[in-house]
Homo-oligomer: A and B are copies of this chain.
Amino acid sequence: MFHFNPDLSSADTTPSPVPPAADKPALDDRQLAVIQRYWQAANYLCVGQIYLQDNALLQEPLKAEHIKPRLLGHWGTSAGQNFIYAHLNHLIGRENVEMLFLSGPGHGGPTLNACAWLEGTYSEVHPQISRDADGMRRFFRSFSTPGGVPSHCGPHTPNSLHEGGELGYSLMHAFGTVFDNPELVAVCVIGDGEAETCPLEGSWKSIRFLDPRKDGAVLPILHLNGYKISGPTVEARTDDADLIQLYQGRGYEPIIVAGDDLPGMHQRFAAALSDSYQRIRQLQAQARDQDLPRVGRWPMIILRSPKGWTGPIEVDGLPVSGTFRAHQVPLAGVREDPQHLALLEAWLRSYEPHSLFDDNGVPAADLDGLNPPAHLRLGAVPHANGGRLLTALDLPAFGEYSLAVPAPGQVIAEAPRKLGEFLRDVIRRNPRNFRMFSPDETNSNRLNAVFEASSRTASGPLLELDDQLAMDGRVMEVLSEHLCEGWLEGYLLTGRHGMWSTYEAFAQVVDSMVTQHAKWLQQCREFPWRKPLASLNILITSHAWRNDHNGFSHQSTGFVDNVLQRRSEVVRIYYPPDSNCLVNVFDHCLRSRNYINVVTCGKQPDFQWLDFEAALEHCSRGASIWDFASSDGGGEPDIVLACAGDVPTTEAVAASWLLQKHVPGIKVRLVNVVDLGILASPRDRPHGLDDASFEALFTRDVPVIFAFHGSTWVIHSMVHGRANEARFHVRGFSDQGTTTTPFDMVVLNDLSRYQLASEALKYVPRLRAQASDAIDLFQRKLREHHSYIREHFEDLPEIRNWHWTDDFEQPTAPPPLAKGHARGQTFTDA
């Protein structure tokens, strides 16, 4: 009555044209029986999670009070995923192989919880959820209830590798897990709802970047159960011929398993799984024996099975199993409606729980027999808790990547070049557990020294004219922020290290992905058995203030705003002002754990302020007073000029210079901030400066003009609660950009040196007389600049040539370029 929907095969518009060829059944009777029983057990545990708060083993007749007062959770995807999980257990045991299970479909929580409990790994990490009747009751009660676990996979269940709440990332995560893991097979179940997302559709091409000689394999299982929420899915309604063509074109060889007949589905799926696994090993052997970077098409399975399979076929006269009505809670109002209660009891009993669990709730011995050896259980493989595999990077001495800075602002350089050399040597020293990713901007971002250590990963045949491209290249460039972020997440989640770099504006393409990763990290803090992971490092070198021809569309600083909404325990924001600070910050990021580190530092030639020693001290403090640009002699200043970000730093230092030149006697203090979080009170963010340290920098009541790289509210929010917070006058990015010379951009955004200096003078009543003339001069300069650049297409000479001078004489030429650094665009700027 409950298990099979005879209408499904007609609901399925196409028969399977690719039955796996087999002379004899894939499973013998004993194997078949235990897989079927394991599936029943997992299904029972899923239904129990959704409905039961008591009588977990159905040892007495089901009553209303056994039912949770609020019915939450999702049944639709559960039985299909349980089916796959049971079969994988069989394969793992037979082949004695490490596999990962990535659950892509929405709301896959019940399955992963149920199977982890069945295999024992759930109880190992949650001892209070023991593998017995009491534990089962607590297990059911913890699902979708306060303080409990959600209807998604997530860090709470040890067989989950990722946060399953937001759809679309399972396949890119799966590929990230197998890079440099040659023996690993990551099985990735993709829901047909999820398959409609753009990130998932864009993930299939990952196979083109996989080197079968050194990387492991992904086995995608596209699970077409017909419906997303209320509506049918695109691929479920696509006929098999088109699907086969589509996936062959994507580089895969699909095996289709379709239907709801039993045991036929078991036999066909087992055969498909076994064939796929053998095919993977054959392709790998071929690649490795013959040193071939590309082999034939990779296997995948398309599983067409009913949504809510084995659940109620009909409720209140409406079809449920095999339809969209099975998505969530197929039987509602169970506490109130005795008929629904009876239906639920019949449904639960259809799985024959008393044959599956003994009176004490312990799973039967044959079920245990299907569990793989302890260390190979999907909730026990270390890759699913990658921190267990993490080894610290072998980092070169970062002092060797210092840039000579004879005096502050006396040399011009492209800040990321030295970082590129540092990363080159990180790659050399860590050839198997560090990767870099980028939407093809490694060159443009001046990190090209890394190509001395490894090339770009080729996605297809090489040509003679290719530059820095190799089949085994480790610098992964794909014009997809989603894939850069997603591959890196998968790589980190399995215990390795890495970074990616991108345009600031387009980092926002992955706002929501970064949010989900942060939520994963945040939740992991509640589970000590989740071992620390290497931090997710994002370098933003093409930022809003220097986009030249790219203009307004490329100018947005909001990525950091979004990251800052995450809890401060898991995010760090850095604005290194120059090359030596950048190397310092990055060395720190690569050593850090469990953070999302966002480092913003431009790639264009710009002033270098600190020598390596000074940078080291500055970065370890997070912020400090720059004496060379201050005139307060260590005493109380008239005004504090604060800055964070390279362009704002230049403008703030120049503003200090202008003030000292034109308003003799003014006491200016310049404070540069590298690590944004130190601004916040430790009450709000754990590593914020205590009030005394904060006031040692910013004083207690002197007005502060804060030149900031991003949105003004970031600073307002950070200093909220500090003494006299209204004295912080922030100038930042205000979405007022254009195609421009660099200085025009700062003028448009009211962040120019002239504007900062003018504003500062408003808060120095002591010097009102001189101030008035200076303000007039500064404002005249702004108008002159506006006209000049529209005529000459470059900044005023006094801007172009300006640099710090201790005597405040106007310089007539810019400082020299550091050796090997260049002005102007390269061939390959984006």
Contact = CB atoms under 8 A, between A and B. Distances in A.
Interface string A133-175: 0000000010011111111101000000001111110000000
Given A245-B249, A553-B166, A479 B69 contact: no
A171 B734 CA distance: 30
A127 to B, nearest CB: 18
A512 B522 contact: no
B146 A739 contact: yes
Contacts of A792: 69
Task: Find the residue from A11, A245, A440, A792 having the highest chain B CB count within 10 A.
Answer: A440
Contact of A548 (B144, B198, B237): B144
A95 to B, nearest CB: 31
B251 A248 contact: no
Task: Find the residue from A7, A523, A828 having the highest chain B CB count within 10 A.
Answer: A828
Task: Find the residue from A141, A477, A565, A734 having the highest chain B CB count within 10 A.
Answer: A565
This chain's copy number in the assembly: 2
B230 A196 contact: no
B562 A70 contact: no
Interface in A219-253: 228-234, 236-238, 242-251
Contact of A460 (B144, B237, B734): B237
| Chain A contact surface mostly | loop
Contact of A512 (B164, B197, B327, B505): B505
Contacts of A537: none
A53 interface: yes
Contact of A231 (B152, B247, B469): B469
A199 interface: yes
B196 A478 contact: yes
A793 B146 contact: yes
A825 B72 contact: yes
A549 B144 contact: yes
A333 interface: yes
A792 B566 CA distance: 30
Nearest to A737: B519
Interface in A559-600: 561-562, 565-567
B509 A828 contact: no
A706 interface: no
Given A69-B794, A230-B442, A827-B329, A739 B552 contact: no
Given A246-B246, A324-B467, A827-B328, A519 B53 contact: no
Contacts of A551: 149-152, 154, 165
A28 interface: no
Contacts of A332: 824-827
Given A735-B522, A739-B149, A558 B511 contact: yes
B70 A793 contact: yes
A473 B741 CA distance: 50
A70 B743 CA distance: 14
A70 B512 CA distance: 37
Interface string A693-733: 00000000000000000011110110010000110000000
B479 A228 contact: yes
Contact of A11 (B228, B465, B790): B465
Given A196-B479, A234-B205, A553-B516, A740 B146 contact: yes
A549 to B, nearest CB: 4
Contacts of A305: none
Contacts of A68: 793
A739 B144 contact: yes
A458 B231 CA distance: 9
Contact of A154 (B144, B468, B553, B726): B553
Nearest to A442: B230
Contacts of A720: 713, 716
A523 to B, nearest CB: 6
Interface string A416-459: 00000000000000000000000111111000000000001011
A824 to B, nearest CB: 6
A141 B792 CA distance: 10
A249 B247 contact: yes
Contact of A825 (B71, B444, B481): B71
Contacts of A197: 202, 479-482
Contacts of A202: 196-202
Given A459-B237, A477-B231, A828 B324 contact: yes
Nearest to A567: B735
A327 B467 CA distance: 14
A339 interface: no
B243 A13 contact: no
B234 A208 contact: yes
Contacts of A482: 197-198
Contact of A562 (B165, B248, B511, B734): B511
A63 to B, nearest CB: 16
A801 to B, nearest CB: 14
9 contacts: A69-B794, A72-B549, A74-B549, A149-B739, A166-B505, A229-B441, A229-B444, A230-B477, A511-B562
Shortest 4 CB-CB distances between A and B: which pairs? A165-B553, A246-B249, A237-B460, A198-B202
Given A145-B789, A237-B460, A561-B565, 4 more contacts: A68-B793, A152-B550, A249-B249, A509-B511
